[in-house]
Structure 1
Amino acid sequence: SRTLSGTKELKPRWKRALSMIERAMGEALGQMYVARHFPAEAKDRALDIVNRVKEALQRKLAELPWLQESTRESALEKMQAFGLKIGYPEEWIDYSSLEVVRGRHLDNIFRARAFELRRTIDFMGKPTDRSRWLMLPQTVNAYHYPENNEIVFPAAILQPPFFNLDADDAVNYAGMGAVTGHEMTHAFDDKGRKYDKNGNLRDWWTEEDAAEYERRSAIVVSQAEEFTVYGTKLNGKLTCGENTADLGGLKLALDALEDVYSARGEALEGEAAVLKGGFTPLQRFFLSWAQVWRDNAMKEHALKMVTLDPHGPHELRVNGPLSNMPAFHSAFAVTEGQGMWRAHEQRVDIW
């Protein structure tokens, strides 16, 4: 870790112990986390955001000019079949048969691994259990699982900076809304689009649509390769799927936010917009997106991630999508010659 990630010292012992407990009995910790930190109103509000972003995606797929009807129809069917999990599993793992003996640390590790191995073997030869979670509730992340055609939001992502019950829609749609759109567009990216609505590997794209998708994706690749990390150029192909999902997710979140404000008869920008902290709702939407990706990484870790991580560095995750969005240029009056300016003909639009 010192060489590859720049780690200066070991994590405190309590953190290392907690990590071991999480590996051994993660859902037991998850139950405690949910009971303490996941109010029902958070799930309700998050579900509303998810549904509105899904509606925005449905409209987008129905209107995309570059999709042929057969591909469009299959895409809409896949979207309608999305499974959705928010918060935590409906049924928790029963750890009652796992013996834990104080003072026998190594034995406890072996027993925990044997317990998990038995659970894995029990699933073999049986129908797919679509209720299973691949991520713990206390994990700050979300994922799209193509084999089940589902998107999953663990409880821990429903906290700042991604989600805040006390914040307004402009802030939450840039966080939770964009994450939702990100995961949904993964169903149609360079990997997800190879699966159909039932999670089967099947090519349901026309050759023409697949070629057009690749053409647009190539622009995303070239844009990513404009970024460097400590002098190392990014691998645009490695990060293409995530960069495409960031751009598509943020656009879908903004579409959904516009629907919310329109339904209330409120303005996102202009003289009629209500300012907070001197910023319009549209400006705060983009500022919230930037705040989501603030980080502080050691140089060694950052360089390692350039080689291994399909997610781009956070500077790219913020500035990449924004530079392609006309609404961002309008919100902050970005003009040619400024750092965030991207010429109209160089901007890319996929979803």
Structure 2
Amino acid sequence: WMSSATKLKAIENLHAMTVKVGYPDQWESYAAFSLSDSYWETAFNAMAMQVHMTMASAGQPIDPDQWSMSPQTVNAAYNPTMNDITFPAAILQPPFFDPGADLASNYGAIGYVIGHEITHAFDLQGAQFDLHGNYADWWTPADEAAFLDHNNQVVQLYGEFEVLPGMFIDGQLTVTENVADLGGMQAAYDALQIALHHEGDPGPIDGLTQNQRFFIAAAQVWREKQLDSAIRTQILTDEHSPGIARAVLPALNMDAFYDAFPEVQPGDPEYIAPEDRIVIW
């Protein structure tokens, strides 16, 4: 659905993307931080120091090597104004990454996250910035219209997902994250196929094929226990969908999922007909 002209710009943005992994080369100095026996004072001093550091950077040249999160943070992020993605050391451990795990497990877990963050460069927000992180319109009108149509389909898909009795996901609030999930899982799956082609398929492990293990790993990273009240708060305030939706909906919109699990057939509650599956990237 994307024209060659817009696709070329997208590829340029992708090739220019900076990847930050593990920890920054230069650590932030906390020498001025005052630690107190009072929890409140310590928290206040930490916030005050953060504000001071932010204010001190005003008017200064932008440091492209600066990190937006600490290495101890279990998270990952894409910054459209810098066109960079960050993967702190803390996320490079199970269940997201295990150097001793098979290809499918890692591609389904950390690969899904990596694909998610890359896809943010081409969601409704990231698509408004060029390869240098400048606000720019690099889409043709026809491509932009087609992209908005795809996003509206995603809004409807997630808006019909019932998390609690009578409570549904806010498809509009979560659309950029959901688009990143859909694109991220597809990208990770495609990357796994390339890796298996080059390194060879080890065959079933614990009775499961590599493709089956991929989808299981992609779902397992979102395992969580939440109170109903916490789920309600998340649905009302968080731009991320609850974990159950992030585990299920991207997979159900991929043909490869049904190939991996042929027992999922029309009539099953989870089944999505081929013509109704949403594929953006």
TM above 0.5, yes or no, is yes
The equivalent position to 2:16 in structure 1, one of 81, 87, 92, is 81
Distance in 1 separating the partners of 2:163 and 2:32? 48
Number of aligned residues: 279
1:317 equivalenced with 2:246 (yes/no): yes
SS at match of 1:319: helix
Residue 111 of structure 1 and its aligned partner are, at CA, apart by 4.6
Match of 2:101 in 1: 167
Alpha-carbon distance change, 103 to 242 in structure 1, aligned in 2, over 3 angstroms? closer
Alignment-mate amino acid for residue 248 of structure 1: G
Shift of 1:265: 3.6
Which residue in 2 is equivalent to 1:278? Answer: 207
Corresponding residue SS for 1:153:
strand
CA distance in 2, matches of 1:318, 1:178: 10
Find 1:249's aligned residue among 158, 166, 184: 184
- The residue that corresponds to 1:41 in the other structure is none
Q: Which residue is 1:207 aligned to? A: 141
Give 1:186's aligned residue: 120
Residue 274 of structure 2 aligns with an amino acid whose one-letter code is H
SS at 1:259 equivalent? helix
CA RMSD of aligned residues (A): 1.6
| TM-score (normalised: structure 1) | 0.76
Provide the rounded CA distance (Å) in 2 between the counterparts of 1:249 and 1:328: 14
For 1:325 and 1:116, the matched residues in 2 are separated by 43
Percent of aligned positions with the same letter in both sequences? 41
Q: Determine if the alignment matches structure 1 residue 301 to structure 2 residue 230.
A: yes
Match of 1:20 in 2: none
- Once residues 248 and 5 of structure 2 are traced to their aligned partners in structure 1, the CA distance between those partners, rounded to angstroms, is 34
Cα separation, 1, equivalents of 2:183 and 2:216: 17
Larger radius of gyration: 1
Structure-2 change in CA distance of 1:161 and 1:107 (3 Å): closer
Structure 2 residue 110 is the aligned partner of structure 1 residue 176: yes
Partner of 2:7: 72
Pairwise CA distance, 1:117: 3.4
- When residues 313 and 97 of structure 1 are mapped into structure 2, their CA distance, relative to the original with a 3 A threshold, is closer
Unaligned runs of 5+ in 2: none
**Aligned amino acid, residue 160 of structure 2:** E
Give the alignment partner of residue 95 of structure 1, picking from 4, 13, 30.
Answer: 30
Tell me the secondary structure at the aligned position of residue 64 of structure 2.
Answer: coil
Q: Per the alignment, in what secondary structure is the counterpart of residue 122 of structure 2?
A: coil
Give the Cα separation in 2 of the matches to 1:116 and 1:212: 42
Provide the C-alpha distance between the structure 2 equivalents of 1:256 and 1:312, rounded to a whole number of angstroms: 24
Residue 96 of structure 2 aligns with an amino acid whose one-letter code is F
Distance (whole Å) between structure 2 residues aligned to residue 194 and residue 146 of structure 1: 8
1:127 matches 2:61 = yes
CA distance 1:288–1:196, change in 2 (3 Å): same
Give the structure-2-normalised TM-score.
Answer: 0.94
Judged with a 3 Å threshold, the aligned counterparts in structure 2 of structure 1 residues 203 and 274 are, in CA distance, closer, same or farther, namely same
Q: 1:219 to 1:119 in 2, by over 3 A?
A: same
* CA separation of 1:317 and 1:110: change in aligned 2, threshold 3 A: closer
Q: How far 1:115 sits from its partner (Å)?
A: 3.4
**Structure 2 residue identity aligned to 1:78:** N
Cα distance change, pair 324–110 in 1 and its aligned pair in 2 (3 A):
closer
- Name the CA shift for 1:303/1:124 in 2 (closer, same or farther; >3 Å): same
Q: Show the 5 A alignment for 1:15-26.
A: none
Would the alpha carbon gap of residues 103 and 247 (structure 1) be closer, same or farther in structure 2, given more than 3 Å must change? closer
Measure, in 2, the Cα distance between the counterparts of 1:326 and 1:111.
52
One-letter identity of the residue aligned with 1:77 = E
Which residue type is aligned with residue 174 of structure 2? T
Which runs of no fewer than 5 residues in structure 1 stay unpaired?
A: 1-65, 267-272
